[in-house]
Each structure stands twice: as structure tokens, then as C-alpha cells.
Chains A and B, each alone.
Chain A
């Protein structure tokens, strides 16, 4: 039961984030998409 609830919460949070993303204007969405693509490289960039 608890596991189901946790999954439901996670799905709800994800749906919320997706809804939030689509409520943003196009320019902000482009910005977030751009930054999102760069973020995974930050730990590597820090050490070069």
C-alpha cells in the first residue's frame, strides 16, 4: 500500500513538472532545455 502511494506521489510530481514545463513560455522552455543538456557535463567541466 505504502509502495503504491509512493509511486503515485512520484507520478504526480512528474506530471506536475511536465505541466509546469508546458505552462512556461517558449523562450524559457528553450532555455531550460539548453541548460538541461549541459548540466550532466558540469562535474567533468569543473575538473578540466
Chain B
């Protein structure tokens, strides 16, 4: 008799979502988390009276989260309080031009009209196709499995209109947005989101071009910091007997031939279970926890072939005054060409970019309780993405230089004189991310996401190599993101429950 029905490795959103749904369906489930804090990339830590978010800074597309709570038989509002953030972001161009996009679509039309009247018609076409697609595809594409040809066909039969949107998947992010807009400023304000999916506009799938529209359905910040999302979900799971152990690193998956039978912890403790769910990077799960010696050559070739997603250093700033910002998010970005150059000339060559490309988040605008009275927090990604192994150097040595660069970037584009009000300054480099979350090379979205590593070609939620092994989180279908990884847990738990009859 196994110790548990299911053991879940990692308390990221995908792990918590899967585990809670299994517990709700009567399975004795345990989550093992190596860190002392839950939530993985969607978490919050405390330092000198400030509560900083580790990575994720907002949630949009609430459908998977609402569906999770619905499947748990609970009300989301009883577990997570979401604060709407409007405007969505304030945009700053390389030459210092500033404007904000409000949530309201009509108001956004007026903003676009004031910058580029020639693009209003494109924006209306973008909204017309995009809103219809989001409405029709939410369930079909987000919370339904899409790992096999059979599942893809089932999706088409159930929602035939999906065929209309499939070409977007095969097109590139930049070609999709260019088919709607001409003005370079508007184009860059709808193209930088390709990096939210971890790829430059020339490589990312065109379907992500519509992130710039889905944001208009509302972006939210959870009261108490981003950790409130995994905490709320976990609380719902615990009410059904879900157990969690933090500070427990899983070393290996116990195998009986090609069947998973449990896990071995770092201290040698064995925990047996019928089902093992990995919420860690799929490369780590297969290459370290299962081990190459237990994989057939074709599977080894498959898992080896995936590229890791990009790393991004994150800067945590505490201020002793209110920053002069207009929105929860401030984006500094150059043109589409600059975004591609950051990837081709810097990131892939091991060079830290020196071009304007930052995302500044101001969480205390929504929730002042995150900082001491009168103080504020900025979490920001500076000149992102940056390579894991900077040429001829090492992130531990570059840390102080990078902090200085970040402050300079803030002063140059966003808040002149901010230096005098910095009360706390820390950076989490790709190496720090790797140490904190054991995410290989500090990758922030699991695996790279392009046409060849999405849906049918991303590691399957139900392993086809190791029986009893399931995967959830950013390495699986839909990739990185708060809503997508919650959705992955819905899909993965669905497989497990189906397999148990």
C-alpha cells in the first residue's frame, strides 16, 4: 500500500492547482516543495519591512482561476481578493514619449486616435477578431487538453470555429500585429508582449499578439502580494485534506521499470505513491529525477531538444516616497526591431542588453500595506531578457554593476532623482533564480515557447514514457503565466482522475 495516492513535486501554481483538485476528488495528496515559501515564480518574500513579489506581478485572464474554484466547489472571492489595475500600463518610448492604455476599449480607441489616427481602424479590427476569439476559445483552448492529434480533433469538432484562429498560431507575433497597425509607437506597444511568452516578436507565435487585447478584459493584483494566489488555492485544497511539506527537496522519482512509484527526498527518505506529478521544469523531471538511463533513446532526444525559456534579472526597490508613476505597470520599450535585436545581438550571444526594455511594477499603488507606512515598492525587469552566462563574466560578480545600471535606467526613463529615495535595493539574477527555485539556468517560463514547442509538441501532461508520471506547470501545454499554469493543473488533474476511473 503506497503512502499517498499522489505526490506532487513543487508548490508552484501548476502543482497546487493539480494537487488541490486531486484532494477535492478524494485522493490522499502530498505536495513537496524545496523552498520554505510556496508559489514558485508567483510568490512574495519579506525583507526589511517590504513585501516583494518574486516574479509574477499581475494576473489577467481570470477564467482558469475562476474555473479552478468552481471545480473546487468554492467561491474565488472567499479565498483571493483581486484588485483591478487601471490603466493597464503606462508606456514610455525610447525617445521619452509617454501615454497610458486604460482598460476601457473605447477610451483606448481615443488614446490610439491621439497618437496614430491611421491605426484606429486596425485597432477596431483587432478588437473585433480578438474579443470574439477570446470569448469562444477560452474553454476550448485554455482548460482543455491539447496533447494529441485526437484531442486536437476533438477540440475542432466541439468548437469548429477554432479553425478560424489556428492560422494565428502559425504566424509570427510581429506579422500579426503588423497586419493591424502601422504606427511604430503603437506597434511597439502591442509587440513587447511577445516577451511575456518568452520570445522576441520575430519568433513568438502570432496567437500571443492578442495578449495586448486580453489585458483590456482587466488586469488584477491580489491583495497581500502575488503569493495570495497560491495561498488561496492551497487553502481551498487543504480543506479537502491536501498536505504540504516545505523545505523538502525531491531528488529522484522511484521507478519500477517504466512506472513511477514515488519519490526520494534529498535526505534519502522515500515516499511512495500511485501517481507522481512533476511541477518542476520538464528537463529536470526527465533528465535528473527519472534519469537518462531510464529513458528510451527517442525520448532522450525529445527532451534534450527543448530549449529552456529565457532568464530575466529582477530588481526589487524600496522607496521612501510615492513614485511619480501613472499605472501599476510602466513599460519602457523601443521598436520591434530593437526588441528583436535584444534577442539576436545580445541575449543569444551572451551579452547583457544595454537597450531600453524594462517592465516596472508598482504593487503598492494597489496595495499600500506591502511597504512600511509612506514607503513604496517597485519590482522591475531591467533590460530584459539577459543571458544566464554573460560572456567572460559571472552574475555574482556583476550584481552591483547591474543594480547601478537599473537605477540609471529608472532615472533616465522613468523617475529622475529616484536615487535619493531608494531605501532598499536588491537584484535577483538568473543565478539567484536558479538557486531560489531550482529553475535550470534561471529560466522564467520553463521551456522556450514557439510554434514547435507548443500544444502537441510540448511535454505531455500525462507522460507517454513513464507510467504514473504526470506533468503540470509552465513546461506543459500553454506554457508560462499565472492563468496558463493554473489551467495546466486543471488539465493534469483531469487526466489523473480519468486514468483512475
Contacts and interface: CB of A to CB of B under 8 A. Distances in A.
Genuine A/B complex: yes
Interface of A: 27, 30-31, 34-35, 38-39, 41-42, 44-48
A34 B205 CA distance: 13
B203 A45 contact: no
B202 A38 contact: no
B495 to A, nearest CB: 15
A35 B451 contact: yes
A11 to B, nearest CB: 29
Contacts of A38: 305, 450, 452-453
Nearest to A44: B302
Given A48-B303, A48-B459, A48-B465, A42 B203 contact: no
Interface residues of B, number: 26
B325 to A, nearest CB: 33
B401 interface: no
B451 to A, nearest CB: 7
B328 interface: no
B45 to A, nearest CB: 34
Most A C-beta atoms less than 10 A away, residue of B172, B305, B344: B305
Most B C-beta atoms less than 10 A away, residue of A30, A42, A45, A47: A45
Contacts of A44: 298-299, 301-302, 305
Contacts of B413: none
A38 to B, nearest CB: 4
A35 B202 CA distance: 11
Given A30-B202, A30-B344, A31-B202, A45 B450 contact: no
A30 to B, nearest CB: 6
B428 interface: no
Given A27-B340, A30-B344, A48-B464, A41 B301 contact: yes
A35 to B, nearest CB: 6
Contacts of A39: 452
19 contacts: A27-B202, A30-B202, A30-B203, A30-B344, A31-B202, A34-B450, A35-B451, A38-B450, A38-B453, A42-B452, A42-B457, A44-B298, A44-B299, A45-B453, A45-B457, A46-B456, A46-B457, A47-B298, A48-B303
Contacts of A31: 172, 202-203
B24 interface: no
A27 B191 CA distance: 15
B491 to A, nearest CB: 16
A24 to B, nearest CB: 12
B174 interface: yes
B460 interface: yes
Given A35-B451, A41-B301, A48 B460 contact: yes
B404 to A, nearest CB: 33
Contacts of B340: 27
A41 B451 contact: no
Nearest to A25: B202
Contacts of A30: 202-203, 344
Contact of B174 (A27, A41, A46): A27
Q: Which 7 interchain pairs have the tightest Cβ spacing?
A: A44-B302, A38-B452, A41-B305, A48-B302, A45-B457, A27-B202, A44-B301
Contact of A47 (B286, B302, B344, B452): B302
Nearest to A31: B202
Interface string B244-255: 000000000000
Contacts of A47: 298-299, 302, 464-465
Contacts of A46: 456-457
Nearest to B297: A44
Contacts of B203: 30-31, 34
Most A C-beta atoms less than 10 A away, residue of B202, B298, B306, B463: B202
A9 to B, nearest CB: 29
Contact of A45 (B174, B286, B302, B463): B302
A17 to B, nearest CB: 20
